[in-house]
């Protein structure tokens, strides 16, 4: 569980004299006003589904469309008079699939347009804004009120932007940017904001951060395995290959011990 920083602590407030390091190779998206887009745009969110998921979904649905759409049935009858039956059926299925894919893709685009959050960072004014939907009321936070940015590079992850409310006695609040690691450009928007806010280390590129997460996850798994086998953890086992070698040695040692124990038991058994 994430612990909110104390807004009354001087250590949690951004320093105006701190150097503002710029992340390398930032390719964040910008809108027509020059604001940096935090997270994916509607089209970036929609494109993978339209190109991969929905075409597959349209295959089983196209049979129902072909049976119920009069225009497609008429096309099939007209083609069957000039083409072999199998060719007419193939064209009928292709037409039904194309219609089904187009309709489902447009419906998905409309749903995303109504639900995709509108998160922007305006470098010129130094403000971060988030609107959950096109008709929802948005939030605006100046850069100087930002306390911490918990960047999440995972595709389904969310980045929390903690800030100090106008009331200094109030608890820290946060803005959540969903799907912050949807793609490299989505995460680069978070990186650009972190560099401008200067409230902590600027995250690296998304691929680099994902590699670090995978290494940390593997280390946790290796620690749990070592604990279950009664092996004390060693710093050099942060390298997965070193841990695998130590694990193989432990297994071979356990196998030799088990084999010697079985031999002793066999020698002690009386012969019939």
pLDDT in tens, 3-58: 555 544 444 444 434 434 444 556 889 988 899 999 999 999 999 989 888 998 88
The answer as to whether 198 is a domain residue is yes
Statement to judge: residues 51 and 18 lie in one domain: no
Question: CB neighbours of 240 closer than 8 A, spacing ≥ 6?
Answer: 215, 218, 219, 222
The dihedral region occupied by 25, where left means phi > 0, alpha psi between -120 and 50, and beta the remainder, is left
- What pLDDT is recorded for position 14? 41
Statement to judge: residues 97 and 136 lie in one domain: no
Is the pTM value of this prediction over 0.75? Answer: no
- Give the helix/strand (H/E) hosting 36: strand 36-37
Please choose, from the candidates 251, 124, 172, the residue with its C-alpha nearest in 3D space to the C-alpha of residue 7: 172
Considering the chain, what is the average pLDDT of its residues? 80
Report whether 190 contacts 38 (CB < 8 A): yes
Residue 227, classified by CB atoms within 10 Å of its CB into exposed (0-12), middle (13-18) or buried (19+), is exposed
Counting the structural domains of the chain, the total is: 3
The answer as to whether 2 is a domain residue is no
DSSP category for residue 53: I
Statement to judge: residues 24 and 148 lie in one domain: yes
Contacts for 139-145: CB closer than 8 Å, 24+ residues apart: 139/175, 141/175, 143/14, 143/196, 143/197, 144/14, 144/16
Statement to judge: residues 120 and 197 lie in one domain: yes
Statement to judge: residues 245 and 195 lie in one domain: no
Domain's final residue, options 85, 115, 145: 115
Q: What is the pLDDT of residues 77-126, one digit of tens each?
A: 677 677 787 787 788 888 888 889 999 999 999 999 988 888 999 999 99
Domain's final residue, options 163, 182, 204: 204
Statement to judge: residues 133 and 197 lie in one domain: yes
Statement to judge: residues 122 and 150 lie in one domain: yes
Statement to judge: residues 124 and 33 lie in one domain: yes
pLDDT band at 252 (very low <50, low <70, confident <90, very high): confident
Statement to judge: residues 128 and 176 lie in one domain: yes
Domain span including residue 196: 10-41+116-204
- Look at residue 75 and tell me whether its pLDDT is greater than 90: no
More confident residue, 152 or 2: 152
């Amino acid at each position: 569980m994430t612990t909110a920083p104390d807004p009354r602590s001087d250590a949690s407030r951004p320093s105006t004299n701190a150097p503002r390091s710029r992340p390398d190779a930032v390719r964040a998206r910008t809108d027509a006003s020059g604001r940096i887009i935090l997270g994916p745009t509607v089209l970036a969110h929609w494109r993978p589904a339209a190109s991969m998921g929905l075409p597959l979904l349209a295959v089983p649905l196209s049979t129902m469309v072909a049976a119920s759409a009069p225009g497609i049935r008429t096309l099939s009858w007209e083609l069957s008079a000039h083409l072999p039956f199998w060719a007419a059926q193939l064209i009928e299925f292709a037409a039904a699939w194309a219609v089904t894919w187009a309709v489902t893709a447009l419906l998905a685009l409309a749903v995303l347009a109504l639900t995709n959050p509108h998160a922007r960072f305006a470098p010129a004014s130094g403000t971060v804004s988030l609107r959950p939907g096109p008709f929802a009321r948005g939030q605006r936070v100046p850069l100087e009120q930002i306390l911490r940015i918990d960047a999440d590079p995972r595709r389904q992850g969310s980045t929390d932007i903690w800030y100090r409310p106008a009331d200094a006695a109030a608890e820290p609040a946060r803005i959540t940017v969903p799907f912050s690691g949807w793609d490299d450009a989505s995460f680069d928007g978070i990186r650009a904001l972190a560099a401008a806010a200067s409230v902590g280390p600027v995250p690296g590129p998304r691929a680099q951060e994902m590699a670090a997460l995978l290494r940390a996850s593997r280390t946790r798994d290796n620690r749990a395995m070592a604990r279950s086998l009664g092996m004390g953890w060693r710093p050099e086992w942060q390298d997965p290959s070193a841990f695998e070698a130590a694990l193989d040695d432990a297994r071979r040692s356990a196998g030799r011990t088990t084999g010697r124990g079985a031999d002793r038991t066999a020698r002690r058994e009386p012969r019939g």
